Amino acid sequence: MTDKSVEKLSPQEAAAELERLARDIAHHDKLYYSKDAPELTDAEYDALRKRNLAIEARFPDLVREDSPSTSVGAAPAEKFGKVQHVVAMLSLDNAFDADDAHAFVAKVQRFLNLNTPPIITAEPKIDGLSASLRYENGRFVQGATRGDGRQGEDVTANLMTIADIPKLIKGAPGVLEVRGEVYMEKAAFAKMNADLEAQGKQTYVNPRNSAAGALRQLDPKITASRPLRFFAHGWGELSEPLAETQYEAVQRLAKMGFPLAGIKRANNGDELLAIYQGILEGRAGLAYEIDGVVYKVDSLALQQRLGFVSRSPRWAIAHKFAAEQQTTILEGIDIQVGRTGALTPVGRLKPVFVGGVTVTNVTLHNADYIRGVGADGEPIRGGKDLRVGDTVVVQRAGDVIPQIVDVLLEKRAKGAHKYQFPERCPVCDAHVARELEPGEEGVIARCTGGLNCPAQAVERLIHFVARRAMDIDGLGAKQIQEFYELGWVKEPADIFRLHDKRDELSTREGYGEKSVTNLLASIDARREPQFGRFLYALGVRDIGETTAGVLARRFESWDVFEDAVNAAVKAQPGEAYEALERVSGVGAGALAALLAAAPELNARSAGASPAAASQADMFAGEGAGVRARPRSKA
Ligand code: IVH
């Protein structure tokens, strides 16, 4: 992004930048939605969209037909009512090391023109999602997510189900908004995931995403069944002050019944760092995840004087824990074949505990990555390649996926061979083709076996039943694999014929009358799926959730859509083809993939009759917890 302020852009520059932003955002949407391989952080992605909006606001005439602001990728979740935060819910600036922490203390002292540092509190930074709880005359009346800080989602009914949140409090000001974090304990998360897996449902990546998913359920009964908890760490609107200091104010909240994660006071930077060290050392033993320590100026009068800069207060900062690193052995490199045939090398590690989890697998992305070359063609790990048997440094920070950040060459075995990327699919032995996708970096290796390749066939089926696709309860990766091996389910339509296997299935280990009845019922419940979900479920390359949603809303019925695609296949160029081409939000790659997949789009042969497009076809917000980084953020 250029740093030139929007005010200073000429119309020519604005048009050029809007074009670039449309392309870039579409590229990142694709990585995120269709490939599950985002390259940007949420903040970086949001900055692109914000810049796009700002330019469009100043140059309304230049808004493009393919503008990202009209695409559904970032549509806000419409399913909850909106809540305006009278007092904005801000974020925190970050400190990454002791120097940053000292600099924070010094800056505050300088700003306030004090001779000694002010008292500063320190408390764990809970890795959850923030919520604001409104009490009127002591009664819990409304609860909201943070949203964009000014406007959040009304999740009152869901927050009502959390036992840690008092519903009626004594001695509270007439208006009291308590702010804090909703989170899930590590053990509860692990148990919940194990249960989900056993039921064939999709699991969550970490406690925070799982808490977010649970809180943003439309049905509070589902929220109630998830073990959510709450810690208070501040407040919003108040009809009268709680106390004169941060420390005393949260103690008052504790007296009213709100759980606190523990808060201490320090007289200077060294004392703060000692508290930080103590919290860091206690981290592994905590029942919940924390990702740093929050420092806050204790005196509320001083907080007032310090005020805010853009979106964070000057009186507080989050001292983040450094990403943890450990060394271990790269014991093997396996190749996984995905649903589109893409070959992904996976490093098998000697299990190592790092960043709060035991890591055994790590994605190695592609052949270049193993060679020590990054997506931009620049060396990574100092250009060192990875060999089986190598001693490697593994890093994991927060919910970032674990990665190999270094190789200890001095420990490399004498005879260690360079890794040879396979020329043939390790599953079906078909030839492996190399593709360089336009506008993308890196060479994708793809098995050419198509659905003859058992790996591709199984992955396609797993995708079909997944929560964000057809969402068939009781059918997950494990069951699909089993039914595929039995020869019962080779293609989606076979799922709808599983009723024929009822008796055989009931006698199989792990199944009883009841579970079979439930499974068949959840299959029946999907015979008329939503258009967008069904299209996404078919797993056509480059047709991710966003594009599927766009097409669902553009075409009234599946039949009309199928006809349009078939007509376009027959006549290119031609009117039907151009009509599809004009659907904003469907790129050239997606269109080509759609036409190539035309024969697979026959819904009846897939055993389902999709319902007309509806609001529900908007994927935004659905199952937010499945993704590491929900785009429609809470
Ligand atoms: S204080 C004015 N204290 O971290 C900002 N935030 O990165 C008040 N968080 O949005 C935030 N633990 O959701 C505060 N002990 C803690 C926290 C905490 C977690 C979250 C909070 C905030 C985010 C900022």
Atom of ligand 1 nearest to the CA of 127: 19
Which of 294, 300, 311, 320 is the pocket-test mutation for ligand 1 (most atoms within 8 Å of CB)?
294
Q: Are 148 and 310 in contact (CB under 8 A)?
A: no
294 within ligand 1 shell (Cβ under 6 A): yes
Atom of ligand 1 nearest to the CA of 130: 13
630 within ligand 1 shell (Cβ under 6 A): no
What DSSP character marks residue 229? E
Which of 90, 130, 182 is the pocket-test mutation for ligand 1 (most atoms within 8 Å of CB)?
130
pLDDT the model gives residue 31: 61
Cis check: omega of the bond before 573, within 30 degrees of 0: yes
234 within ligand 1 shell (Cβ under 6 A): yes
pLDDT the model gives residue 396: 82
232 within ligand 1 shell (Cβ under 6 A): no
Nearest alpha carbon to residue 317 among 99, 148, 128, 144: 99
CA distance 252 to 246: 10
Nearest alpha carbon to residue 362 among 346, 376, 379: 346
Which of 126, 208, 309 is the pocket-test mutation for ligand 1 (most atoms within 8 Å of CB)?
126
Q: Percentages helix, strand, coil for the chain, rounded to the nearest 5? A: 40, 20, 40
pLDDT the model gives residue 193: 85
Query: Residue 556: CB partners within 8 Å, gap ≥ 6?
Result: 612, 613
CATH number 3.30.470.30 given to 82-320? yes
Question: Letter for the amino acid at 520?
Answer: L
313 within ligand 1 shell (Cβ under 6 A): yes
Q: Would you call 50 a catalytic residue per the annotation?
A: no
pLDDT the model gives residue 69: 66
Question: Letter for the amino acid at 257?
Answer: G
φ and ψ of 37, to 5 deg: -135, 65
The arrangement of secondary structure in 6-70, i.e. its CATH architecture, is: Orthogonal Bundle (1.10)
Q: How far is the CA of 168 from the centre of ligand 1 (A)?
A: 24
Q: Which residue carries 């669902």 as its tokens?
A: 552
Structure tokens at 50: 């914000």
125 within ligand 1 shell (Cβ under 6 A): yes
Which of 41, 91, 92, 247 is the pocket-test mutation for ligand 1 (most atoms within 8 Å of CB)?
92
448 within ligand 1 shell (Cβ under 6 A): no
Whole-structure pTM value: 0.57
Structure tokens at 219: 């049905």
Atom of ligand 1 nearest to the CA of 146: 10
The catalytic residue among 30, 125, 384, 633 is 125
Atom of ligand 1 nearest to the CA of 94: 7
Q: Are 495 and 482 in contact (CB under 8 A)?
A: no
b/e sequence 497-515, b meaning 16+ C-beta within 10 Å: ebeebeeebeeeeeeeeee
95 within ligand 1 shell (Cβ under 6 A): no
Listed as ranges, residues in the chain with pLDDT below 50 are 1-2, 34-36, 72-77, 439-441, 614-634
CA distance 625 to 634: 10
Give the domain ranges of the chain.
6-70, 82-320, 323-448, 454-620
123 within ligand 1 shell (Cβ under 6 A): yes
The arrangement of secondary structure in 323-448, i.e. its CATH architecture, is: Beta Barrel (2.40)
Q: How far is the CA of 263 from the centre of ligand 1 (A)?
A: 13
- What fold does the segment set 454-620 form as a domain? DNA polymerase; domain 1 (1.10.150)
Q: How far is the CA of 171 from the centre of ligand 1 (A)?
A: 25
pLDDT the model gives residue 356: 66
Nearest C-alpha to atom 21 of ligand 1 is from which residue? Answer: 130
Q: How far is the CA of 539 from the centre of ligand 1 (A)?
A: 39
22 within ligand 1 shell (Cβ under 6 A): no
Nearest alpha carbon to residue 401 among 206, 211, 210: 206
Residue 115: is it exposed, middle or buried by C-beta count within 10 angstroms (0-12/13-18/19+)?
exposed
Query: Residue 399: CB partners within 8 Å, gap ≥ 6?
Result: 127, 205, 206, 208, 209, 628
pLDDT digit string, tens, across residues 422-437: 999 999 999 999 876 5
pLDDT digit string, tens, across residues 228-259: 999 999 999 999 999 999 999 999 999 999 99
42 within ligand 1 shell (Cβ under 6 A): no
| Beta strands per DSSP E along 68-174 | 82-84, 94-95, 120-126, 129-136, 139-145, 151-153
Structure tokens at 351: 């299990």
CA distance 551 to 425: 33
Query: Residue 23: CB partners within 8 Å, gap ≥ 6?
Result: 439
Q: Are 63 and 39 in contact (CB under 8 A)?
A: no
